[in-house]
Amino acid sequence: MARLANPAKLRTQQQVEEQMRHFGLLDPPLVRYAKYVRNMLTFQFGYSYYTGELISNEIGSRLATTLSLVVTAEIIAIAIGLVFGVIAAHKRGGIFDTLSSLTSVITNSLPVFWVAMVLLLIFAYGLGWFPMAHSYPPEWALPGQWPTNPLIELLVRLRHMFLPAVALVIILAGSYLLLTRASMIEVLSEDYLVTARAKGLSERKVLFKHAFKNASLPVITYIAIEFGFMLSGATLTETVFSYPGLGLWIWQSIDYTDFPALQAIFFIIALCVIIANFIADLVYGIIDPRIKYE
């Protein structure tokens, strides 16, 4: 007499097969690879193992959140690093050069998660000036609580973004300052700067219009490379602040073993690195007339 199958075991096996069919794991390897390439080119990354939702529905908002944080921090860090780097090179050996270089070495060596926790301890927990986490207040997620005034929404989001951005600026600005200083020192003794000063140009124009223009090519290369690493490097910062961007998503996907989400994240990061380097190549031709594109 044949035994009846265990209903619970049968149901479990059916669920496993249904999930494997849902994720396309029952197809032959070549078919799965062809679908993988097609989906990557069309930005169809499949379903998340953890949420079961389409990854393409989540990646847009998370990418925008990370880009707003990273681009803001990059712009501020670049502005501080370039200006202070030029001044430090001009006053080489002076008090400003010594203090700025020493401060840059120290801040560039600090762990970003430690800087983030110190900022949280002082300005969020201690003084209460800024929120502890998230990119907007949690109560906004409730029905009817989202602000209708775009200006209020922007100001609140900027307040939530302030501490994560400051943490990244503290880490980044020092490296830009040191690189700018080193690049400027190499060109400050060139003959064309002596000619520019002989023409009666102000020292500000000599430094920023002539010297920095030729010294900026290594800085532009570093900015393009650093931007790509920042998208993934914001993982620790976003995790400390529970900031819902790509960085926090990487941490959560690793914790949940969500391979489709990780593949999508790294694909987007690689694409952003390629775009950043392409823009840097275009900027080379604008800044340095000796570079020609055919």
Is residue 50 one of the residues assigned to a domain? no
Cα–chain-centroid distance for residue 113? 15
Residue 12 included in any domain = no
pTM (predicted TM-score): 0.77
**pLDDT of 291:** 61
What is the reported pLDDT for 246?
A: 81
In order, the DSSP letters of 188-248 are: TT-HHHHHHHHTT--HHHIIIIIIHHHH-HHHHHHHHHHHHHHHHHTHHHHHHHT-TTHHH
Token code pair at residue 253: 């996907």
**Amino acid present at 169:** V
CA distance 34 to 15: 26
Helix axes 217-233, 150-187, angle to 10 degrees: 140
Number of domains in the chain: 1
In a domain, 273, yes or no: yes
Range of the domain at 100: 57-137+147-287
* Residue 253, in any domain of the structure: yes
Copy the structure tokens of residue 92. 């080489």
pLDDT of residue 6: 44
Q: Which long-range contacts (CB under 8 A, 24 or more apart) does 48-56 make?
A: 48/258, 48/260, 48/261, 49/23, 49/256, 49/257, 49/258, 49/259, 49/260, 49/261, 50/252, 50/253, 50/256, 50/258, 50/261, 55/260, 55/261, 55/264, 56/264
- Residue 256 falls inside a structural domain: yes
Q: Would residue 123 count as lying in a domain?
A: yes
Supply the pLDDT for residue 241.
86
| Helices and strands, number each (H, E), in the chain | 13, 0
Geometric angle at alpha carbon 245, from 146 and 252, rounded to 5°: 115
- Phi and psi at residue 142, in whole multiples of 5°? -75, 150
pLDDT by position in tens, the chain (length 294): 344 444 444 457 777 777 777 767 777 888 888 888 888 788 888 778 777 778 888 787 788 888 888 888 888 988 898 888 888 887 887 888 888 888 888 888 888 888 888 998 999 888 888 888 877 777 777 777 777 778 887 888 888 888 898 998 888 888 888 888 888 877 777 667 767 777 777 777 777 766 777 777 788 888 877 776 676 667 788 888 888 888 888 888 888 888 888 888 888 888 877 887 788 777 777 776 566 555
Q: How many CA atoms lie within 13 A of 153 on its CB side?
A: 9
Task: Give the pLDDT score at 10.
Answer: 47
Nearest to 119 by CA among 173, 67, 170: 170
CB 171 within 8 A of CB 109: no
CATH number, domain with residue 245: 1.10.3720.10
The CA–CA distances, whole Å, from 47 to 27, 201, 276 equal: 16, 61, 28
How far is Cα 262 from Cα 246, in angstroms, rounded to an integer?
10
Establish if 52 belongs to a structural domain: no
Residue 121 lies in a domain: yes
Residues 173, 112: contact at Cβ < 8 Å?
no
Task: Please state, as a whole number, how many other Cβ atoms lie within 10 Å of the Cβ of residue 45.
Answer: 22
The whole-number pLDDT of residue 289 equals 58
The number of beta carbons lying within 10 Å of the beta carbon of residue 164 is 29
Q: Which amino acid is at 211?
A: A
